[in-house]
Amino acid sequence: MHIVVCIKQVPATLDVRVDPVTHNLIREGTESTINSFDAHALEEALRLCERFGGKVSVISMGPPQVKDALRKALAMGADEAYLLCDRALGGADTLATAYTLAKGIKRLLPPYDLILCGRHAVDADTGQVGPMLAEELGLPQVTMVKKLECDGKSAVAWRESAEGTAVWEVPLPAVITVGSEINTPRYPKPIGIMRAAKKPLTVWTAQDLDVDEDKIGLKGSPTRVARLFSPERVSHVEMLSGDPEVAAATLVRKLKGNKLLQVQGGC
Ligand code: FAD
Protein backbone atom coordinates (compact mmCIF):
# COMPACT_ATOMS: atom_id res chain seq x y z
CA MET A 1 0.00 0.00 0.00
CA HIS A 2 1.14 3.54 -0.69
CA ILE A 3 -0.24 5.77 2.06
CA VAL A 4 0.07 9.54 1.77
CA VAL A 5 -0.12 11.65 4.93
CA CYS A 6 -0.80 15.40 4.69
CA ILE A 7 1.19 17.29 7.29
CA LYS A 8 0.79 20.91 8.28
CA GLN A 9 3.42 22.68 10.34
CA VAL A 10 1.78 24.78 13.05
CA PRO A 11 3.08 27.09 15.81
CA ALA A 12 4.15 25.11 18.90
CA THR A 13 2.33 27.64 21.06
CA LEU A 14 -1.13 29.15 20.69
CA ASP A 15 0.31 32.45 21.93
CA VAL A 16 0.76 33.75 18.38
CA ARG A 17 0.48 37.26 16.94
CA VAL A 18 -1.80 38.20 14.07
CA ASP A 19 -0.81 40.54 11.22
CA PRO A 20 -3.17 43.54 11.60
CA VAL A 21 -3.38 44.06 7.82
CA THR A 22 -3.55 40.55 6.30
CA HIS A 23 -5.02 38.89 9.44
CA ASN A 24 -2.61 35.98 8.86
CA LEU A 25 -0.63 34.42 11.70
CA ILE A 26 2.82 35.92 12.15
CA ARG A 27 5.00 32.82 12.06
CA GLU A 28 8.45 34.43 12.12
CA GLY A 29 10.23 33.86 15.41
CA THR A 30 7.67 31.27 16.54
CA GLU A 31 8.69 27.69 17.30
CA SER A 32 6.82 25.22 15.10
CA THR A 33 5.76 21.59 15.24
CA ILE A 34 3.74 18.98 13.34
CA ASN A 35 -0.01 19.57 13.73
CA SER A 36 -0.92 17.09 16.49
CA PHE A 37 -3.72 15.38 14.51
CA ASP A 38 -1.32 14.88 11.60
CA ALA A 39 1.06 13.02 13.94
CA HIS A 40 -1.86 10.65 14.68
CA ALA A 41 -2.49 10.28 10.91
CA LEU A 42 1.18 9.44 10.37
CA GLU A 43 1.18 6.91 13.21
CA GLU A 44 -1.86 5.18 11.67
CA ALA A 45 -0.16 5.08 8.26
CA LEU A 46 3.00 3.59 9.78
CA ARG A 47 0.98 0.91 11.62
CA LEU A 48 -0.93 -0.03 8.44
CA CYS A 49 2.31 -0.31 6.48
CA GLU A 50 3.89 -2.41 9.22
CA ARG A 51 0.92 -4.82 8.83
CA PHE A 52 0.44 -4.82 5.07
CA GLY A 53 3.77 -3.59 3.67
CA GLY A 54 4.19 -0.65 1.32
CA LYS A 55 5.40 2.87 1.89
CA VAL A 56 4.39 6.06 3.60
CA SER A 57 4.87 9.44 1.91
CA VAL A 58 4.34 12.70 3.76
CA ILE A 59 3.44 15.89 1.92
CA SER A 60 3.12 19.48 3.02
CA MET A 61 2.55 22.89 1.48
CA GLY A 62 4.28 25.76 3.19
CA PRO A 63 7.39 27.89 3.53
CA PRO A 64 10.95 26.39 3.56
CA GLN A 65 11.01 25.96 7.37
CA VAL A 66 8.34 23.23 6.98
CA LYS A 67 11.26 20.94 6.09
CA ASP A 68 11.84 20.60 9.87
CA ALA A 69 8.38 19.08 10.33
CA LEU A 70 8.91 16.77 7.37
CA ARG A 71 12.31 15.62 8.71
CA LYS A 72 10.60 14.79 12.00
CA ALA A 73 7.99 12.76 10.09
CA LEU A 74 10.81 10.91 8.32
CA ALA A 75 12.43 10.26 11.72
CA MET A 76 9.15 8.78 12.97
CA GLY A 77 9.29 6.30 10.07
CA ALA A 78 7.88 7.87 6.88
CA ASP A 79 9.78 6.78 3.76
CA GLU A 80 9.64 9.93 1.61
CA ALA A 81 8.73 13.59 2.08
CA TYR A 82 7.49 16.22 -0.35
CA LEU A 83 7.31 19.97 0.25
CA LEU A 84 5.25 22.17 -2.07
CA CYS A 85 7.02 25.47 -1.62
CA ASP A 86 6.81 28.61 -3.70
CA ARG A 87 6.05 32.28 -3.02
CA ALA A 88 3.23 31.93 -5.54
CA LEU A 89 1.55 29.41 -3.20
CA GLY A 90 1.62 31.78 -0.17
CA GLY A 91 -1.61 33.24 1.18
CA ALA A 92 -3.55 30.14 0.18
CA ASP A 93 -6.90 29.48 1.86
CA THR A 94 -8.25 25.97 2.30
CA LEU A 95 -9.52 25.71 -1.30
CA ALA A 96 -6.19 26.72 -2.85
CA THR A 97 -4.34 24.50 -0.35
CA ALA A 98 -6.46 21.46 -1.24
CA TYR A 99 -6.03 22.14 -4.97
CA THR A 100 -2.25 22.42 -4.64
CA LEU A 101 -1.93 19.36 -2.41
CA ALA A 102 -4.05 17.38 -4.90
CA LYS A 103 -1.70 18.41 -7.71
CA GLY A 104 1.29 17.23 -5.66
CA ILE A 105 -0.35 13.96 -4.59
CA LYS A 106 -1.24 13.11 -8.21
CA ARG A 107 2.50 13.21 -9.05
CA LEU A 108 3.45 10.65 -6.41
CA LEU A 109 4.50 7.17 -7.48
CA PRO A 110 3.23 4.53 -7.22
CA PRO A 111 -0.33 5.93 -7.26
CA TYR A 112 -1.72 6.36 -3.74
CA ASP A 113 -4.04 3.81 -2.06
CA LEU A 114 -5.00 5.87 0.95
CA ILE A 115 -4.67 9.54 1.97
CA LEU A 116 -4.70 10.43 5.66
CA CYS A 117 -5.12 13.93 7.11
CA GLY A 118 -5.66 15.34 10.58
CA ARG A 119 -9.29 16.20 11.45
CA HIS A 120 -8.21 19.86 11.61
CA ALA A 121 -5.16 22.05 11.98
CA VAL A 122 -4.84 23.45 15.50
CA ASP A 123 -3.98 26.97 14.25
CA ALA A 124 -6.37 27.94 11.45
CA ASP A 125 -8.73 25.20 12.61
CA THR A 126 -11.22 24.88 9.73
CA GLY A 127 -11.10 21.13 9.10
CA GLN A 128 -11.80 21.86 5.42
CA VAL A 129 -8.64 20.74 3.66
CA GLY A 130 -9.25 16.95 3.98
CA PRO A 131 -12.81 17.05 2.56
CA MET A 132 -11.79 19.53 -0.18
CA LEU A 133 -8.85 17.30 -1.11
CA ALA A 134 -11.22 14.35 -1.50
CA GLU A 135 -13.42 16.49 -3.81
CA GLU A 136 -10.40 17.60 -5.86
CA LEU A 137 -9.29 14.00 -6.33
CA GLY A 138 -12.83 12.61 -6.79
CA LEU A 139 -12.38 10.20 -3.86
CA PRO A 140 -14.71 8.96 -1.10
CA GLN A 141 -14.00 10.46 2.32
CA VAL A 142 -14.66 9.81 5.99
CA THR A 143 -13.86 12.56 8.51
CA MET A 144 -13.14 12.59 12.25
CA VAL A 145 -12.23 8.91 12.37
CA LYS A 146 -11.35 7.35 15.74
CA LYS A 147 -10.72 3.76 14.58
CA LEU A 148 -9.64 2.45 11.19
CA GLU A 149 -9.40 -1.01 9.69
CA CYS A 150 -8.06 -1.56 6.23
CA ASP A 151 -7.44 -4.62 4.04
CA GLY A 152 -5.73 -2.85 1.14
CA LYS A 153 -8.91 -2.78 -1.00
CA SER A 154 -11.37 -1.08 1.33
CA ALA A 155 -11.37 0.69 4.68
CA VAL A 156 -13.81 0.49 7.59
CA ALA A 157 -13.83 3.71 9.59
CA TRP A 158 -15.44 4.47 12.94
CA ARG A 159 -16.52 8.11 12.81
CA GLU A 160 -17.31 10.37 15.75
CA SER A 161 -20.52 12.40 15.38
CA ALA A 162 -22.93 14.33 17.58
CA GLU A 163 -25.34 11.36 17.53
CA GLY A 164 -22.69 8.76 18.44
CA THR A 165 -20.38 6.56 16.41
CA ALA A 166 -21.09 5.76 12.77
CA VAL A 167 -19.24 2.95 10.97
CA TRP A 168 -18.51 3.53 7.29
CA GLU A 169 -16.99 1.22 4.69
CA VAL A 170 -15.33 2.90 1.72
CA PRO A 171 -13.45 1.50 -1.28
CA LEU A 172 -9.82 2.56 -1.67
CA PRO A 173 -8.38 4.93 -2.63
CA ALA A 174 -10.07 7.25 -0.13
CA VAL A 175 -9.36 10.25 2.06
CA ILE A 176 -9.68 9.74 5.82
CA THR A 177 -9.24 12.47 8.44
CA VAL A 178 -8.37 11.25 11.93
CA GLY A 179 -8.80 12.43 15.50
CA SER A 180 -6.56 11.93 18.51
CA GLU A 181 -8.45 8.88 19.86
CA ILE A 182 -7.16 6.69 17.03
CA ASN A 183 -3.69 5.98 18.46
CA THR A 184 -0.72 7.33 20.37
CA PRO A 185 1.97 8.66 18.02
CA ARG A 186 5.47 7.23 18.51
CA TYR A 187 8.46 9.39 19.36
CA PRO A 188 11.31 9.38 16.84
CA LYS A 189 14.13 7.09 18.05
CA PRO A 190 17.79 8.20 17.72
CA ILE A 191 18.31 5.66 14.91
CA GLY A 192 15.22 7.07 13.15
CA ILE A 193 16.59 10.60 13.43
CA MET A 194 19.90 9.46 11.89
CA ARG A 195 18.15 7.59 9.06
CA ALA A 196 15.88 10.58 8.37
CA ALA A 197 18.86 12.64 7.23
CA LYS A 198 19.37 10.21 4.32
CA LYS A 199 15.71 9.80 3.31
CA PRO A 200 14.47 11.73 0.27
CA LEU A 201 12.88 15.14 0.85
CA THR A 202 11.78 16.60 -2.47
CA VAL A 203 10.78 20.24 -2.94
CA TRP A 204 8.36 21.07 -5.74
CA THR A 205 7.63 24.60 -6.94
CA ALA A 206 4.40 25.80 -8.55
CA GLN A 207 6.01 25.23 -11.94
CA ASP A 208 6.84 21.60 -11.10
CA LEU A 209 3.20 21.03 -10.18
CA ASP A 210 1.75 22.31 -13.46
CA VAL A 211 -0.89 24.29 -11.58
CA ASP A 212 -3.48 26.73 -12.89
CA GLU A 213 -2.15 30.08 -11.60
CA ASP A 214 -5.69 31.30 -10.95
CA LYS A 215 -6.24 28.48 -8.45
CA ILE A 216 -3.18 28.88 -6.21
CA GLY A 217 -2.00 31.23 -3.48
CA LEU A 218 -3.81 34.46 -2.67
CA LYS A 219 -5.18 34.78 -6.22
CA GLY A 220 -6.84 31.37 -6.02
CA SER A 221 -8.28 31.95 -2.55
CA PRO A 222 -11.88 33.19 -2.37
CA THR A 223 -11.76 33.45 1.46
CA ARG A 224 -11.11 36.86 3.02
CA VAL A 225 -10.61 37.22 6.77
CA ALA A 226 -12.66 40.33 7.55
CA ARG A 227 -11.99 40.48 11.29
CA LEU A 228 -10.22 38.42 13.92
CA PHE A 229 -11.04 38.70 17.63
CA SER A 230 -11.01 36.72 20.88
CA PRO A 231 -14.52 35.80 21.99
CA GLU A 232 -15.56 37.64 25.13
CA ARG A 233 -15.93 35.32 28.14
CA VAL A 234 -18.87 36.19 30.35
CA SER A 235 -19.53 34.24 33.54
CA HIS A 236 -22.59 34.48 35.72
CA VAL A 237 -23.30 32.70 39.01
CA GLU A 238 -26.77 32.26 40.49
CA MET A 239 -27.52 30.23 43.66
CA LEU A 240 -30.90 28.47 43.85
CA SER A 241 -32.09 27.82 47.37
CA GLY A 242 -35.33 26.78 49.07
CA ASP A 243 -37.44 23.71 48.28
CA PRO A 244 -35.21 21.22 46.34
CA GLU A 245 -37.98 20.20 43.90
CA VAL A 246 -38.78 23.80 43.02
CA ALA A 247 -35.04 24.57 42.74
CA ALA A 248 -34.53 21.55 40.44
CA ALA A 249 -37.44 22.59 38.20
CA THR A 250 -36.10 26.18 38.10
CA LEU A 251 -32.63 24.86 37.22
CA VAL A 252 -33.98 22.76 34.33
CA ARG A 253 -36.05 25.71 33.06
CA LYS A 254 -33.02 28.03 33.15
CA LEU A 255 -30.71 25.51 31.48
CA LYS A 256 -33.24 24.89 28.70
CA GLY A 257 -33.83 28.63 28.35
CA ASN A 258 -30.10 29.15 27.82
CA LYS A 259 -29.97 26.19 25.39
CA LEU A 260 -27.64 24.32 27.75
CA LEU A 261 -29.97 21.35 28.15
CA GLN A 262 -31.81 19.43 25.48
CA VAL A 263 -34.44 16.99 26.70
CA GLN A 264 -35.23 14.23 24.22
CA GLY A 265 -38.79 13.06 23.58
CA GLY A 266 -40.31 16.48 23.00
CA CYS A 267 -40.41 17.61 26.70
P1 FAD B 1 -7.50 22.35 8.12
O2 FAD B 1 -8.50 22.18 7.04
O3 FAD B 1 -8.00 22.58 9.51
O4 FAD B 1 -6.48 21.12 8.12
C5 FAD B 1 -6.97 19.77 8.09
C6 FAD B 1 -5.85 18.85 7.67
O7 FAD B 1 -5.48 19.13 6.32
C8 FAD B 1 -4.56 18.98 8.48
O9 FAD B 1 -4.63 18.26 9.68
C10 FAD B 1 -3.55 18.43 7.49
O11 FAD B 1 -3.60 17.02 7.47
C12 FAD B 1 -4.09 18.95 6.15
N13 FAD B 1 -3.46 20.25 5.81
C14 FAD B 1 -3.90 21.50 6.05
N15 FAD B 1 -3.05 22.41 5.58
C16 FAD B 1 -2.02 21.72 5.03
C17 FAD B 1 -0.81 22.10 4.38
N18 FAD B 1 -0.46 23.38 4.19
N19 FAD B 1 0.02 21.11 3.95
C20 FAD B 1 -0.30 19.80 4.13
N21 FAD B 1 -1.44 19.39 4.73
C22 FAD B 1 -2.28 20.34 5.18
N23 FAD B 1 -1.27 28.64 6.78
C24 FAD B 1 -1.57 29.33 7.89
O25 FAD B 1 -2.47 28.90 8.65
N26 FAD B 1 -0.90 30.49 8.21
C27 FAD B 1 0.10 30.97 7.43
O28 FAD B 1 0.68 32.01 7.74
C29 FAD B 1 0.48 30.24 6.26
N30 FAD B 1 1.51 30.66 5.50
C31 FAD B 1 1.82 29.98 4.37
C32 FAD B 1 2.87 30.45 3.58
C33 FAD B 1 3.20 29.81 2.38
C34 FAD B 1 4.34 30.33 1.53
C35 FAD B 1 2.44 28.66 1.98
C36 FAD B 1 2.74 27.96 0.70
C37 FAD B 1 1.40 28.19 2.79
C38 FAD B 1 1.08 28.81 3.99
N39 FAD B 1 0.06 28.36 4.83
C40 FAD B 1 -0.26 29.05 5.95
C41 FAD B 1 -0.64 27.09 4.54
C42 FAD B 1 -2.10 27.18 4.02
O43 FAD B 1 -2.54 28.42 3.74
C44 FAD B 1 -3.00 26.48 5.07
O45 FAD B 1 -2.42 25.22 5.22
C46 FAD B 1 -4.44 26.24 4.69
O47 FAD B 1 -5.16 27.39 4.61
C48 FAD B 1 -5.06 25.21 5.65
O49 FAD B 1 -6.09 25.69 6.46
P50 FAD B 1 -6.41 25.06 7.90
O51 FAD B 1 -5.25 25.33 8.77
O52 FAD B 1 -7.75 25.53 8.32
O53 FAD B 1 -6.43 23.48 7.67
pLDDT tens, position by position, 123-178: 888 999 999 999 999 999 999 999 999 988 999 999 988 889 999 999 999 999 99
Q: What residues have CB less than 8 Å from 175, skipping those under 6 apart?
A: 115, 116, 117, 130, 131, 133, 134, 137, 139, 140, 141, 142
Q: Is 185 helix (H, G, I), strand (E, B) or coil?
A: coil
Task: Determine the pLDDT at residue 146.
Answer: 98
> From the CB of 180, is ligand 1 less than 6 Å away?
no
CA distances, 56 to each of 3, 189, 260 (Å): 5, 17, 44
Which sign, positive or negative, has the C-alpha torsion 254, 258, 262, 265?
positive
Ligand 1 atom with least separation from CA of 130: 7
Q: What residues have CB less than 8 Å from 84, skipping those under 6 apart?
A: 59, 60, 61, 62, 100, 101, 103, 104, 204, 209
Containing H/E element for 50?
helix 36-52
The number of CA neighbours under 13 Å toward the Cβ of 57 is 24
Residue with CA closest to ligand 1 atom 48: 94
Answer whether 155's CB lies under 8 Å from 167's CB. no
pTM of the full predicted structure? 0.86
Residue 64 is given by DSSP the state G
Ordered structural domains, the chain, with CATH:
2-215 (3.40.50.620), 236-267 (no CATH)
Among 9, 212, 177, 218, smallest CA distance to 93 is for 218
Name the pairing type of β-strands 201-204 and 80-84: parallel
> From the CB of 82, is ligand 1 less than 6 Å away?
no
The number of CA neighbours under 13 Å toward the Cβ of 96 is 23
- Going from the Cα of 77 to the center of ligand 1, the distance in angstroms, rounded, reads 22
Which of 3, 61, 119, 228 gets mutated to test ligand 1 (max ligand atoms within 8 A of its CB)?
A: 61
> From the CB of 154, is ligand 1 less than 6 Å away?
no
Task: Determine the pLDDT at residue 267.
Answer: 46
Among 126, 167, 127, 128, smallest CA distance to 145 is for 167
pLDDT tens, position by position, 168-225: 999 999 999 999 999 999 999 999 999 999 999 999 999 999 999 999 999 999 998 8
Residue with CA closest to ligand 1 atom 15: 8
Among 223, 247, 246, smallest CA distance to 96 is for 223
